[in-house]
């Protein structure tokens, strides 16, 4: 995919602050906002101004630097414990995507590895590592697309869920990168985009990205996936991931599990695309993943208008877990991983 130039950058580092596309304004308006403190970063992650597992890891990393750069401690021990406090605070913004805590742990480890250096030098190294995490994600996402493209048959109808593109990552995306590469190879007939209730990441964001990339798509309500599969109009499903455990169980946007069950019932390949920062080798299986529950009004209201009687009780999990046995393959930057995931992950990622 040599000629592809991403039409936007969702996150940029601007010398002393972060600039992001505020995704809550899309698709109507492309608004950039500046984040200048850990508090603003926490709020942006919590309110999904920036969202998608790799993107919150990248933003959290820069937010951590903004926090430690303000610290006035000049003894390593107090500097380190204050840095830990900032990492814990930022990590509390959203619990399910492992990429956020993964980035913060990596930066804490960077600090520790520099413990004999002057504090100002440590701060510079932290910023350089945050920039590296961002650049690395671009490379990983490109590689995911290159590997994933080989799984796409000619003239493919691809169904996807939520948003997994450049908005949700450093660039290219995960599942979206596979679609992008498939399109460049002339193999994508059409993408079916799940609207992705309740916050409409599919309808608002994936359509916006596919349109910019000139990839043919049709938007569907989430519950239309069954009829499409029944009629033979889906050749493969590909989604991203927020956390993949050691055995391959995968947490992703609510509704992903439903799709996996349907795909299995119709003998349609169900793929997950994610970089290594999404694989959590500390958890054995998906039942150990904390699933974020969000506010009731995301379900009881639509465009600020009430769609349910007052005081309606709501259950609003933001993610679900697809068991590994329903996943045909997991596509990472290192290649296409087939079951047995535990064995292959241990070989590839236990570093
Ligand atoms: O709640 P969101 O919008 O942050 O959820 C995002 C997803 O579920 C994505 O599918 C996932 O993070 C993969 S992004 C490359």
Q: How do residues 100-121 score in pLDDT, each as one tens digit? A: 999 999 999 999 999 999 999 9
Residue holding tokens 């406090």? 85
Structural domain boundaries, residue 262: 149-350
Q: How many CA atoms lie within 13 A of 63 on its CB side?
A: 33
Last residue of a domain, one of 123, 142, 161: 142
- Looking at the fold, whether 194 and 116 belong to one and the same domain comes out as no
Q: Which phi and psi (to 5°) does residue 74 adopt?
A: -115, 0
pLDDT of 174 higher than 90: yes
User: CA-to-CA distance for 172 and 14, rounded, in angstroms?
Assistant: 21
* Band (332; pLDDT cuts 50, 70, 90): very high
Mean pLDDT of 179-201: 98
Residue 6 within any structural domain of the chain: no
Q: Is residue 265, in this structure, part of any structural domain at all?
A: yes
> How much is the average pLDDT of 123-140?
98
Residue 72 is predicted with a pLDDT of 97
pLDDT band of residue 4 (cuts 50, 70, 90) is: confident
Task: Provide the pLDDT for residue 281.
Answer: 96
What is the residue-averaged pLDDT of the chain?
Answer: 97
Active site residue 137: no
Q: Let me know whether 238 and 272 are in one domain.
A: yes
Residues 6+ apart with CB under 8 A from 342: 246, 247, 248
Residue 351 predicted with pLDDT over 50: no
Cα(213)–Cα(184) distance, integer angstroms: 10
Q: Which of 80, 108, 142 is the last residue of a domain?
A: 142
Domain-ending residue, one of 88, 107, 142? 142
Residue 269: its pLDDT value, please? Answer: 98
Both 156 and 255 in one domain: the answer is: yes
pLDDT in tens, 20-65: 999 999 999 999 999 999 999 999 999 999 999 999 999 999 999 9
- The pLDDT tens digits for 290-323 are 999 999 999 999 988 999 999 999 999 999 999 9
Instruction: At 148, give phi and psi (nearest 5°).
Output: -65, -35
76: helix, coil or strand?
helix
Separation of 163 CA from ligand 1 center, angstroms? Answer: 6
CATH number for the domain harbouring residue 49: 1.20.120.420
Percent of the chain with pLDDT over 90: 96
Instruction: Kindly state whether residues 203 and 238 are assigned to the same domain.
Output: yes
Nearest to 63 by CA among 111, 3, 126: 126
Residues lining ligand 1, Cβ inside 6 A: 48, 51-54, 97, 162, 164, 168-169, 173-174, 201, 239-242, 252-253, 318
The verdict on residue 338 lying in a domain is yes
Beta strands at 250-253 and 319-322: parallel, antiparallel or unpaired: antiparallel
pLDDT of residue 2: 58
Within-domain flag for 2 = no
**Residue 5 forms part of a structural domain:** no
Domain count across the chain: 2
Which of the residues 22, 137, 242, 249 is marked catalytic?
A: 242
Q: What pLDDT is stored for residue 228 in this prediction?
A: 98
Helix or strand run (H / E) with residue 261:
helix 256-265
């Amino acid at each position: 995919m040599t000629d592809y130039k991403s039409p936007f950058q969702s996150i940029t580092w601007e010398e002393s602050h972060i600039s992001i596309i505020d995704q809550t304004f899309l698709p109507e308006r492309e608004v950039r906002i500046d984040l200048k403190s850990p508090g603003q970063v926490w709020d942006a992650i919590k309110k999904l101004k920036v969202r998608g597992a790799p993107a919150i890891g990248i933003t959290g990393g820069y937010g951590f630097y903004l926090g430690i750069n303000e610290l006035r401690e000049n003894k390593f021990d107090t500097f380190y414990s204050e840095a830990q406090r900032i990492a814990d605070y930022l990590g509390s913004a959203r619990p399910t995507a492992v990429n956020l805590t993964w980035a913060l742990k990596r930066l804490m480890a960077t600090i520790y590895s520099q413990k004999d250096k002057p504090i100002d030098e440590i701060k510079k190294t932290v910023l350089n590592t945050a920039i590296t995490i961002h650049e690395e994600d671009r490379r990983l996402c490109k590689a995911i697309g290159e590997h994933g493209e080989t799984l796409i048959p000619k003239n493919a109808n691809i169904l996807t869920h939520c948003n997994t593109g450049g908005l949700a990552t450093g660039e290219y995306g995960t599942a979206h990168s596979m679609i992008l590469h498939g399109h460049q190879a002339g193999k994508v007939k059409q993408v079916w985009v799940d609207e992705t209730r309740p916050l409409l990441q599919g309808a608002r964001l994936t359509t916006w990205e596919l349109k910019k990339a000139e990839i043919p798509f049709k938007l569907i309500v989430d519950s239309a996936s069954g009829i499409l599969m029944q009629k033979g109009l889906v050749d493969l499903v590909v989604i991203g991931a927020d956390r993949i455990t050691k055995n391959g169980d995968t947490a992703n946007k609510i509704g992903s599990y439903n799709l996996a069950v349907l795909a299995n019932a119709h003998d349609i390949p169900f793929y997950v695309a994610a970089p290594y920062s999404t694989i959590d080798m500390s958890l054995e299986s998906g039942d150990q993943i904390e699933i974020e529950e969000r506010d009731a009004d995301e379900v009881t209201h639509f465009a600020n208008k009430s769609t349910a009687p007052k005081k309606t009780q709501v259950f609003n999990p933001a993610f679900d877990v697809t068991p590994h046995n329903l996943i045909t393959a997991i596509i990472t930057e290192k290649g296409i991983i087939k079951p047995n995931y535990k064995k292959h992950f241990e070989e590839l990622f236990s570093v």
